[in-house]
Structure formats: structure tokens, C-alpha cells
Amino acid sequence: MDEWFTELHGLNASDDIGLTFRIKEILYSKKSAFQKIEVYQTYGAGKMLVLDNAIMFTELNEFSYHEMITHVPMMAHPFPENILIVGGGDGGVLREVVKHLGVRTLELVEIDKMVVEVSKRFFPEVAKGFDSPLAKIYFEDAVKFISKTKKEFYDIIIVDSTDPVGAAKPLFEVDFMQKVKWAMKEKGIGSMQIGSPFFDEKNIVSILNNLKEVFSIVMIYVASIPFYPGGLWSFAFFFFLFDPFTFFRENVCLKMEDAFKYYNYEIHKASFMLPSFVKRYIK
């Protein structure tokens, strides 16, 4: 077998551009109740997880996404204790959160149990966060879950979802964001992936506008992720009181630097410094 898997850039970008991988073997391909789940053995990038034809990650480079959606909010908070991960069924964000000392409660709410099972089976290095005795996993709709949580409980809420289509669409709407606000402490910080700065301008602006209806301040930060369209990805950082820098724990970053492949104290700052074309359209 010598076939290629191609992900077209889709969304606001064009379906006339794509990333392509030579495939050794299809290791898994099934439809869950929510999406098509596929695992490919690629020649160039190890195993690859694909949901509804969109590359989630490859073994070669899953670190930059998982580190950047996690440690930027975690390190900006002086004492993050109660953590909620929305989505993140592959376990990558969980693995990053448990690197931090001082976490007291750690919950993950994932709508699709099959993603967790597939990740545990094919990506043990990503899924190993599930082994933490702290981690409580809920398989349900995040919008429903967060409606039932305690008021102002979470220090950090990380929304690690697929693109704003299909099952993940509600996570990008104002109704859900209001529930996130309800569940998050006033000193809490949230992060979420919001798309490609080069290709998803329309979506990014619309998601930021939704967040701004709810949170005092919404910022955007970026990270290099080779196998996402355009190679650069953006995240929203939203909060009421704790901005990315005032309580930034630079010393903890330095102490933990061996634990990270992408993130470090300089990257924390650099990730908020945006190319001019992005600064213009988010203004």
C-alpha cells in the first residue's frame, strides 16, 4: 500500500490547498456518534489522529499545540488549583496540566468516549495524562456539564475542541461562553483554540467578538504547529483580572524548562506579539 492522506485547508481557507502525508497503514477508521475517527501510520510523522478529515496531531509534533494551549494560561495564573478541560479527549492537555504542582481538582469533559479509547490504544504518550489519580473524566456534552458545575469554581478553563463546525460548534457561541464565565473564578483564566491566523480571519474575529461579550479582556496568542493549515495557530486568552504577564510565573517556567519541548518563558511573551496583518484585523 502506498497511498496519501490529504487534509484540505477548508473553513475560511481554500479547499484548493492541502497538506499531504504518505500513509503506511490505516490503523483505525470508525464513525462514532459524533465524528469519523481515523488513525494513520504515516511514513514521515509517526502515527496521526484525524477527526472528520481534520488532522488533530501527529506523534512527531503534538507537543506545540498541547503545551501552548495549556501552559500559557497555567503559568499566567499565580496559583491554579481547579482546572477544567473541555474536549481534549486525546489526553494531551491533561498530560500537560499534571506537570504542574498544586493542582487540586482536574476535570475533563469530552463528548466522544471513542476518542479517549482510541487515544489510549494508539497514542499512549499523549494519553498518559489519564493515568493521573487527580483526573476525573466525564463523557457528556460540555454545555450541559458546565451548566451544572459550582459557580465560580475553576481557576483555569481550557477549551480544547475541534474546529467550529459539527459537534464543537456550540463551544464557540455566546451561550457556552456565558456558562464558562459562570463556572470560572473572577481570578480565572480561559484559553481556547480559534483557528489559523492566515486563513480563518472571519472565524477568529467572530469568536473573539463572542468572547468579548462575556469576558472583560480577550487577547490572542499564537504558536507554530507544522501540521495545521498555514503552520501558525491562534488561541484566545480570556480573563477578568489576571492578564498574561502581571502574575506570570517566570521562575516556575525556568525550573520546569526541561518538561517542555516548545513552551518556555520567552515563548510565553513572544506568543502575544502578533504579525501586523493579525493586529489589524483583530483591532
User: Which residues contact a second copy by CB under 8 A?
Assistant: 6, 9, 13-22, 42-45, 61, 63-64, 197-199, 222, 224-226, 228-232, 257, 260-264, 266-267, 269-271, 273-277, 279
**Residue 53, amino acid:** N
Nearer to a second copy, 74 or 157 (CB): 74
Please give the DSSP secondary-structure letter assigned to residue 150: P
**CB-based contacts of 203: which residues, under 8 Å, 6+ apart?**
11, 12, 164, 194, 195
Q: Which residues does residue 135 pair with via DSSP β-bridges, in sequence order?
A: 106
Nearer to a second copy, 44 or 79 (CB): 44
Chain centre distance of CA 156? 13
CB of 273 to a second copy, least distance (A): 4
The C-alpha atoms of residue 23 and residue 252 are separated, in whole angstroms, by 40
CB of 102 to a second copy, least distance (A): 22
Nearer to a second copy, 51 or 222 (CB): 222
Nearer to a second copy, 199 or 248 (CB): 199
CB of 57 to a second copy, least distance (A): 14
Nearer to a second copy, 67 or 112 (CB): 67
For 79, how many CA atoms within 13 A lie in the half-sphere containing its CB?
1
Nearer to a second copy, 68 or 184 (CB): 68
DSSP string computed for 154-193: EEEEEEE---SSGGGGGGGSHHHHHHHHHHEEEEEEEEEE
Which of 90, 160, 163, 200 does the annotation list as catalytic? Answer: 160
Chain centre distance of CA 257? 21
Please give the DSSP secondary-structure letter assigned to residue 105: E
CA-based max dimension of the chain: 55
Buried b (16+ CB within 10 A) or exposed e, 231-243: ebbbbbbbbbebe
Please give the DSSP secondary-structure letter assigned to residue 172: G
CB of 282 to a second copy, least distance (A): 14
CB of 32 to a second copy, least distance (A): 27
CB of 113 to a second copy, least distance (A): 31
The C-alpha atoms of residue 112 and residue 120 are separated, in whole angstroms, by 13
Active site residue 160: yes
Q: Give the active site residues.
A: 160
